Amino acid sequence: MRLRFVILCLLGLFFINTSILHAQDEAVLTATTNDVANFRAGPELTYSIITTLDAGTTVLVDGRRSDNLWLRVNYNGQQGWIFAGLLDVQGNIESLPIVESATIGATTNTSANPEARDATRVVANFRTGPSTAYSIIATLPANTPLVLMGRNAESTWVQVSVDGQTGWIFASLITTLQPIRELPIQEAPPLTVNNVSVPASVGNSAPTGIISGIGARATQIFRAGQTLGNRADVFSKVGDSISTNPLFLYPVGVGGLVLDAYAYLQPTVEYFSKTPARTHNSFANESLAVRSGWTSGDVLAVGNGASGICLADESPLVCEYRVTKPAVALIMLGTNDVLRGIDSATYRANMQAIITTSINMGVIPVISTLPDNLNGQGQRVLEFNAILRSLAVANGIPLWDYWAALQGLPSSGISSDGYHPSFDPATGQTGVFTPQYMQYGYNVRNYTALVVLDTLRRQVLER
């Protein structure tokens, strides 16, 4: 009898331990970085970088932000955050617990810095309410002192007082001495839509040379897409690491935008921010048709789609269009084709296939030219860009001449690696369009992307 009791107890302990181990397995997933990735102290670009991980680095993922755009990971015994688009995760991230950071805005250690205070971290828009849809009271320089008044329910916006005037600032743009979630929740004021004034020096149309080819064909594609159920206020991103990087458009979608002299673009920001594309609004959405290292052929390859979302017989491009139902696609592929020595005929055929697939699914394909390559392959970039320009004309579709927009910038807007766009390493702010920041390739890319979307909105989507 006693032996039977002991055996039952041992079996019970075995099943309990097995259950615990199984639960632990479900709470932690393995992932590999698909590009160079910043390992940050918190789930935003404004948090400090702990270290930078090379592509192919294995990490353990044990949590996620509620919008699935950032994942909490463990690397060499240290905990931090990496943008989800830079990780290939083995398993379903929805099984991970939501573990929001203690404060959305980066905090300051007052014991280490006795002069710490509540202040703006970078240039920040001071708005009448907690959304980019509210008007801008003023644009505040970095290190502007703030008096904290409250927050919105999601803790993504903070109500502050500046020189006796009350307004709101996006949380990731400020430094606070206390967790933002400890502030009282404040009601947002009524939203009134005002006409946006356009600076005389900027005008209300696309700068010459950035976009061409928006005509009757684009309207025809758009109308066909509407009959297929595509959504006029949603766009997709199609590309490689230059597009999957959170420096591209993500700041626009989460409130990190400072338009400066380009206030006429605000209605377009609001237009594409109101509808969830899939994981977020179109600017911050995690596209199924972008991945680090992809060539023009990879996005067309059946079997390359996201597991559990894409069908077995569809390409990532078709999957993205089927799931997201966009009206427009911003397409830039070819940087990796240059690096891998893919011949011009293959590149032309792949890009034509991407264009044809887009048109057949009622999506306006906007083809972007490639940025320079400073590693001795610049001539091939010019060759590929000539192909892209000819395809745009032949198909009657929009051309976004990003290469032309970069000419005249320091190092042609290219970073030290020779092919990725540049950005300010001190702040990482690629959604700021002040003259200081418009010397960087990613800032110019985000600005010209908004110009493209604004032109399409006014000339096609809202007509």
pLDDT band at 18 (very low <50, low <70, confident <90, very high): very low
pLDDT of residue 15: 44
For residues 151 and 181, is the Cβ–Cβ distance under 8 A?
yes
Question: Coil, strand, or helix at residue 88?
Answer: strand
CATH class for the region spanning 211-461: alpha beta
For residues 272 and 285, is the Cβ–Cβ distance under 8 A?
no
78 contact partners, CB below 8 Å, separation of at least 6: 39, 50
For residues 167 and 106, is the Cβ–Cβ distance under 8 A?
no
pLDDT at residue 353 is higher than 70? yes
pLDDT at residue 439 is higher than 60? yes
Q: Which of 177-191, 270-284, 378-392 shows the lowest per-residue confidence on average (mean pLDDT)? A: 177-191
Report the b/e string of 79-89 with b at 16+ CB within 10 A.
Answer: ebbbbbbbbeb
**CATH 2.30.30.40 domain residues, the chain:** 29-95, 119-182
pLDDT at residue 3 is higher than 90? no
Q: Which of 119-123, 219-223, 304-308, 403-407 shows the lowest per-residue confidence on average (mean pLDDT)? A: 119-123
pTM of the model: 0.70
For residues 49 and 39, is the Cβ–Cβ distance under 8 A?
yes
**Residue 123 to residue 257: CA distance in whole angstroms:** 10
Give the model confidence (pLDDT) of 113-135 as tens digits: 444 578 887 778 888 888 766 77
Q: Which CATH topology does 119-182 take? A: SH3 type barrels. (2.30.30)
Question: Coil, strand, or helix at residue 17?
Answer: helix
Percent over 90 (pLDDT), the chain? 58
The DSSP string of 139-199 is: EEPTT-B-EEEEE-TTSSEEEEEETTEEEEEEGGGEEBSS-GGGSPB-PPPPP---PPP--
CATH class for the region spanning 29-95: mainly beta
**Residue 236 to residue 292: CA distance in whole angstroms:** 16
Segment 296-307 shows an average pLDDT of 96
For residues 302 and 318, is the Cβ–Cβ distance under 8 A?
no
**CATH 3.40.50.1110 domain residues, the chain:** 211-461
Q: Which of 35-49, 108-122, 234-248 shows the lowest per-residue confidence on average (mean pLDDT)? A: 108-122
23 contact partners, CB below 8 Å, separation of at least 6: none
Segment 310-335 shows an average pLDDT of 98
Give the model confidence (pLDDT) of 140-169 as tens digits: 888 899 999 998 876 778 999 998 899 998
pLDDT of residue 400: 97
Question: Coil, strand, or helix at residue 26?
Answer: helix
Question: Coil, strand, or helix at residue 393?
Answer: helix
For residues 239 and 331, is the Cβ–Cβ distance under 8 A?
yes
